[in-house]
Structure 1
């Protein structure tokens, strides 16, 4: 306490000496210089009152705002960049799953081609057994497929070309959500295979010793033979329309549709009738023999020996109707 008291007394005594020195210096300075100093202080006070700030403060404020803008831009761009990267990862994941499913579907198609010409043909049970035996040992994670492996259901059907078989499978891919909820994308994988019939390529060339032994098709009560099962004489495109509108329709060749000799009996103008793109008659019975084709297979040599002519659409030059 004694030291504290003495220290304060020293400060007070020093303050009195400083005042005396300050007054002596003030008296020694000329009066015009003192007046200019007072006027400069007043000018600075008025300048601050108007709203102007010091340049040093301006620089500090502008530098601070620039640093903040970088922080805001980074906060906006970073989530967009991360979302784009996650989206690309999800697409690559989906492409990988589709590629693997397509590969094992092709492997199944190679095996199923050997069964396509058997007496019983290809049933769904055989198709499932072959496909699941292929995909069972694969690297596909069942969690990536909607419903697991049970969600992969292959189907077999004849293609529009007739001589090809179509294998297709529709399934859902579970996209990884990462930070978002997971979603399912549905896709279809399709494979076309040619059945193993054991026929030589020369049988379809029309030349050589097999040229007369190639397979042709003859419709029931037909007068021509066909080389292609997808011929428009055999594969009919049937459309339904009303009786009142069929009178204004034309076939592909511009001809009118006339009444069928077998089933063309109309009781109502709004009755539904059936026509084909290349036919010339309208039918009231969907199962009319004019809308069906019962075919027999034989060699081209046998067809020519029976007096049948080649089809004008799928055979060589010549005319005829099925």
Structure 2
């Protein structure tokens, strides 16, 4: 009785064909995953680097502000001394175009200096050899910081990196992939909230704010919604279905809600997250104190007042 080996040979042949078709796809998939993991690693490394760089540079914001204010006072003094004598020719109009040209030159020079400085400081936070051997086109020299700015609008330090990522295989139509990363921090040159005081009345002793007895924040306006509570009574049976203006649920007050009857009435506010069985509960009261801004201590500015202040500017 003979043994038929044709089926075994066919099976082995079909497996070989399947491996030939599937293995390249598997290999390409693994290479693609490794490629995107490398992009993610580079992105994370550079993002952490510019974040640390921005925070470190923010500490020198007050020095820049001091020099800027000092130069401004010097310019005002020169303008006061430069008075036009009778009979002299006013050359102000003739120098307008020249002034614009000088301003543009100063701007370009400043941008170039900022870009060179940010790029130089970047070496302190990344592995230069790793970047040069990575998929970034041009390595470390391929990373540009020309769009960055130091103490620009609103005294912000804006670090912007741009570079190109080389594709794993040559793509004639697509070419390299453009990447932009950015971090923006405010220079540490001091901050005073705008309370509507006129110029010359900016002393902290002349600026008053509002606090509560046990509060950890201060308020710019006495009618802040945190200080002005809108109390209303609701059935206790319906408390589970009610939400405050922030979408949060109401929970029992630790001071007065131990003996709430199922058929009773409780008291809530639109901005709070507790319900009360006693309308005279201290949790529903706000003892507001008016104090000078210089006495707020470690209290921070109320977020609602901060948002209201931003909308008025």
On whether the aligned pair clears a TM of 0.5, the verdict is: no
The one of the two structures with greater contact order (alpha-carbon pairs below 8 A, sep at least 6) is 2
Question: TM-score normalized by structure 2?
Answer: 0.41
Larger Rg: 1
